[in-house]
A and B are shown apart, each in its own frame.
Chain A
């Protein structure tokens, strides 16, 4: 059956050779190679749940009177966008589950990209020949963050509306063209003529997802073409890949992982309430709630805005709102340009132009590891600064003290982190056995009262690591050897 269909297809498309090679493709078994898959599968969930949401969401700022089943809002004037989002949360079966799954999937999508990126960075997987794939990945992170913000804004609730207000002011802060960009995008002075909701919608559901899908195809295509990197180990060289074949082992593992990722997202979606917009109410530009923060992946920008001193510069007949422009435009610009440029920057600094298919242990590249840890610490601290009010309330300390503390530690901690990480890497390098396979040691007490240590074979559970790797067998003698009728006889069951 399979055979016949394959022949039919192969006669027309010639897929057998390439297809078989693809089934033989080797995937390294190390767990850290599965981080990107979390992002991939959350993206699948995002697409699926997103399509469901578009069937009910109305991208319109038109004012309507809310008449749905959530009583505390009945009779209130709200936008159609807000009313339809409440409607799909309360009056559409499984609607709230899908909406919350979409939101959790977005949070997990960006979180897993960050973790995946950290793995690629700290192990040096971005080096030649994979610089382009690094650039593609960083582009997807950037677009993902942007699309997350846009999607967060679509329900037009009080919290997200405040975010749009801030985004408008950030655009306004750009020198020379700022107010033009803001007016063009919003169709006028804030809050504009209502066009921003449909514009955000089409960017959120069509333009950026289409680009991400294209980049994702490129990301995976490059991965197949260039093959995986791998950690050094038995039988592993710069010229091979050791691991499991695409079919069936890897496919089973990754399918299972896909289901479990989806399960995690849907369990969160039903048990951890996210963005309960009916509690926030509709957005009005004169209303505000305290303790509003953006989603976590935008938190670092909000934190940077909070701790920035009030450095507005007025000169030559113009206002330069540096207190906004520096933290909200220049800072993320520098961070992302640094991300994009890092592979080329490192190659220039180290003068290393060789191909690299074997990964570094982070400790073996102390400067890179320290630099990465330092940037991570900077971003994490700025992220924490986005909850100064919550921290002040939680620890019962004055708001001003928390803010001043953060102004100091965002500068001090990253520098400190660099040197501490560097030192830790150096120390770990000297520790010979670290990272090597450990053999159990048996301690015996002789009748004479003497203790003896004997190094044993590695633990039997992972014994297969000790076998020499072989190419994936295309044909398998399915007849057990004892039943074979003669030497050299091979039968394939169909």
Chain B
């Protein structure tokens, strides 16, 4: 080795031990050294502490504290060593142009164009067939990747399980009697047999206590005067903005608010959106009371529920 060294040193830089570039940054290296030693010892103790904590308990705060102290102590010590005690230079490195010479570029493009050119030009049919085959493979390979993922939408977004005469039930499947809700009461209801189903969720609100035979609760939209019964009104609970459950009912102002993006719907005026990003009223479910005094739907929703989509007319 000693024989080779002089030759190597001729090409590579050599520095004396007292070269200013090799001196530590710290004015008092021993003090920094003491701090780094202390820090690393604390780090070591932290890791030991983590090991003990893990075995005797599963206390998250102690685990984090010991691990954090361990990691930080070790890291701080090493960083202080690097910053204050190691050679600080400044050192310099030359940049070299990494782009090729013009001749090399020409050679590269010639290798592609000329060598490739004679091959492809001589056998155009082969080249064309290969391109056709590879392209076709690329297209058909995507078929299973895309089409097998799930079903086509079909009419799924247009329909719910609410039909004529669907019985309104609570989440637990309890039918709703006309006497169940006070004025100002709300209840999330589903068609019987579909409790918990997302598109069917409907919010039932009692706006007034109207005796049988009296005129129905006046609603703003024309043609819906008989959609309420005994002061009950029901709307789809899926927001027309992004489908969040519109579960926030302000009783005094008679507004439904969507907790996600704060669209505000006027319950008395057919749930038209008064404020916020929701574009359409919540679809309304026409209600009636059956002979046993249970609430039922007159019909399903007259439009798709939830957010807008392309196929919606």
Mutual binders A and B: yes
Query: Hey, which bits of chain A sit against chain B, CB under 8 A?
Result: 3, 24-26, 29, 93-94, 96-97, 100, 129, 162, 165-166, 168-170, 172-180, 182-193, 195, 225-227, 235, 238-245, 248-253, 255-264, 266-267, 269-271, 284-292, 302, 305-312, 314, 317-321, 323-324, 357, 388-389, 399-400, 403, 460-461, 464-465, 467, 469-481, 490, 492, 494
Query: Chain B, 60-71, contact with A by CB distance < 8 Å: what is the 0/1 string?
Result: 111111011111
| Contact between A474 and B14, CB atoms less than 8 A apart | yes
Q: How far is the CB of A186 from chain B (nearest CB, A)?
A: 7
| Contact between A243 and B91, CB atoms less than 8 A apart | yes
Q: How far is the CB of A421 from chain B (nearest CB, A)?
A: 31
Q: How far is the CB of A200 from chain B (nearest CB, A)?
A: 13
Q: How far is the CB of A50 from chain B (nearest CB, A)?
A: 17
| Contact between B92 and A471, CB atoms less than 8 A apart | yes
| Contact between A259 and B74, CB atoms less than 8 A apart | yes
| A227 and B93 alpha carbons, distance in the complex (Å) | 9
Q: Considering only CB atoms, which chain A residue lies closest to B81 in the complex?
A: A252
| Contact between A97 and B86, CB atoms less than 8 A apart | no
Given A93-B54, A256-B76, A286-B237; A308-B64 close (CB under 8 Å): no
In the A-B complex, the 6 residue pairs with the smallest Cβ-Cβ separation, listed nearest first, are A270-B64, A256-B79, A259-B75, A252-B82, A312-B279, A473-B15
Given A188-B151, A288-B244, A324-B308; A357-B95 close (CB under 8 Å): yes
- Interface presence of B9 (CB below 8 A): yes
| Contact between B54 and A187, CB atoms less than 8 A apart | no
Contact of A26 among B15, B86, B91, B248 (CB under 8 A): B91
In the assembled complex, 17 residue pairs joining A and B whose CB atoms fall closer than 8 Å, in A order, are A100-B60, A169-B307, A189-B153, A190-B243, A249-B89, A256-B81, A260-B76, A263-B68, A263-B70, A286-B245, A288-B259, A292-B259, A319-B310, A319-B312, A470-B15, A472-B13, A481-B17
The residue among B17, B60, B313 with the most chain A CB atoms within 10 A of its own CB is B60
Residues of chain B within 8 A of A472, CB atoms compared: 13, 89, 91, 93
- Interface presence of B311 (CB below 8 A): yes
Residues of chain B within 8 A of A287, CB atoms compared: 245, 247
- Interface presence of B123 (CB below 8 A): no
Residues of chain B within 8 A of A271, CB atoms compared: 61, 64-65
The residue among A250, A256, A461 with the most chain B CB atoms within 10 A of its own CB is A256
| Contact between A477 and B14, CB atoms less than 8 A apart | yes
Residues of chain A within 8 A of B188, CB atoms compared: 286
B89-134 contacts to A (CB < 8 Å): 89-95, 98
Q: Considering only CB atoms, which chain A residue lies closest to B160 in the complex?
A: A189
Residues of chain B within 8 A of A173, CB atoms compared: 307-309
- Interface presence of B183 (CB below 8 A): no
Q: Considering only CB atoms, which chain B residue lies closest to A293 in the complex?
A: B260
| Contact between B242 and A239, CB atoms less than 8 A apart | no
| A252 and B61 alpha carbons, distance in the complex (Å) | 29
| Contact between B157 and A189, CB atoms less than 8 A apart | yes
- Interface presence of B25 (CB below 8 A): yes
Given A183-B153, A263-B75; A323-B262 close (CB under 8 Å): no
B1-53 contacts to A (CB < 8 Å): 1, 5-6, 8-9, 12-23, 25, 27
Residues of chain B within 8 A of A324, CB atoms compared: 241-242, 277, 307-308
Given pairs A259-B72, A267-B64, A476-B15, 9 additional interface contacts (CB within 8 A): A165-B243, A170-B242, A173-B308, A183-B150, A187-B149, A252-B86, A289-B259, A323-B278, A475-B14
Q: How far is the CB of B165 from chain A (nearest CB, A)?
A: 22
- Interface presence of B201 (CB below 8 A): yes
Residues of chain B within 8 A of A400, CB atoms compared: 264, 275
Q: How far is the CB of A407 from chain B (nearest CB, A)?
A: 11
Q: Considering only CB atoms, which chain A residue lies closest to B245 in the complex?
A: A288
Q: How many chain B residues have a CB neighbour from A under 8 Å?
A: 99
Q: Considering only CB atoms, which chain B residue lies closest to A476 in the complex?
A: B15
Contact of B71 among A244, A250, A263 (CB under 8 A): A263
Residues of chain B within 8 A of A476, CB atoms compared: 14-17, 22
Contact of B91 among A192, A261, A314, A469 (CB under 8 A): A469
| Contact between A266 and B19, CB atoms less than 8 A apart | no
Residues of chain A within 8 A of B300, CB atoms compared: none
Residues of chain B within 8 A of A308, CB atoms compared: 277
| Contact between B13 and A310, CB atoms less than 8 A apart | no
Q: Considering only CB atoms, which chain B residue lies closest to A404 in the complex?
A: B275
- Interface presence of B184 (CB below 8 A): no
| A409 and B1 alpha carbons, distance in the complex (Å) | 72
| Contact between A267 and B93, CB atoms less than 8 A apart | no
The residue among A94, A243, A285 with the most chain B CB atoms within 10 A of its own CB is A285
Given A173-B307, A240-B94, A270-B65; A481-B18 close (CB under 8 Å): yes
Residues of chain A within 8 A of B61, CB atoms compared: 270-271
Contact of B308 among A290, A306, A312 (CB under 8 A): A312
- Interface presence of B224 (CB below 8 A): no
Given A305-B261, A312-B280; A186-B150 close (CB under 8 Å): yes
Q: Considering only CB atoms, which chain B residue lies closest to A480 in the complex?
A: B17
Q: Considering only CB atoms, which chain A residue lies closest to B36 in the complex?
A: A256
Q: How far is the CB of A460 from chain B (nearest CB, A)?
A: 7
| A261 and B74 alpha carbons, distance in the complex (Å) | 12
Residues of chain B within 8 A of A26, CB atoms compared: 91-93
| Contact between B276 and A403, CB atoms less than 8 A apart | yes
| Contact between A260 and B156, CB atoms less than 8 A apart | no
| Contact between A318 and B95, CB atoms less than 8 A apart | no
| Contact between A258 and B279, CB atoms less than 8 A apart | no
Contact of A284 among B94, B196, B308, B313 (CB under 8 A): B196
Q: How far is the CB of B86 from chain A (nearest CB, A)?
A: 4
| A89 and B170 alpha carbons, distance in the complex (Å) | 33
Query: Chain B, 178-201, contact with A by CB distance < 8 Å: what is the 0/1 string?
Result: 000000000010100000101101
| A460 and B27 alpha carbons, distance in the complex (Å) | 9
| Contact between A172 and B75, CB atoms less than 8 A apart | no
- Interface presence of B220 (CB below 8 A): no
Residues of chain A within 8 A of B150, CB atoms compared: 183-188, 192-193, 195
Contact of A474 among B12, B20, B92 (CB under 8 A): B12
Given A191-B198, A284-B196, A464-B20; A243-B14 close (CB under 8 Å): no
Given A188-B156, A286-B201, A475-B9; A257-B79 close (CB under 8 Å): yes
Q: Considering only CB atoms, which chain A residue lies closest to B67 in the complex?
A: A266
| Contact between A270 and B63, CB atoms less than 8 A apart | yes
Residues of chain A within 8 A of B276, CB atoms compared: 306, 310, 403
Query: Chain B, 275-313, contact with A by CB distance < 8 Å: what is the 0/1 string?
Result: 111111000000000000000000000000011111111
Residues of chain B within 8 A of A187, CB atoms compared: 149-151
| A97 and B60 alpha carbons, distance in the complex (Å) | 6
| Contact between B14 and A473, CB atoms less than 8 A apart | yes
| Contact between A226 and B89, CB atoms less than 8 A apart | no
| A467 and B22 alpha carbons, distance in the complex (Å) | 12
| Contact between A241 and B308, CB atoms less than 8 A apart | no
Q: How far is the CB of A209 from chain B (nearest CB, A)?
A: 20
Q: Considering only CB atoms, which chain A residue lies closest to B171 in the complex?
A: A286
Residues of chain A within 8 A of B279, CB atoms compared: 310-312, 321, 323
- Interface presence of B216 (CB below 8 A): no
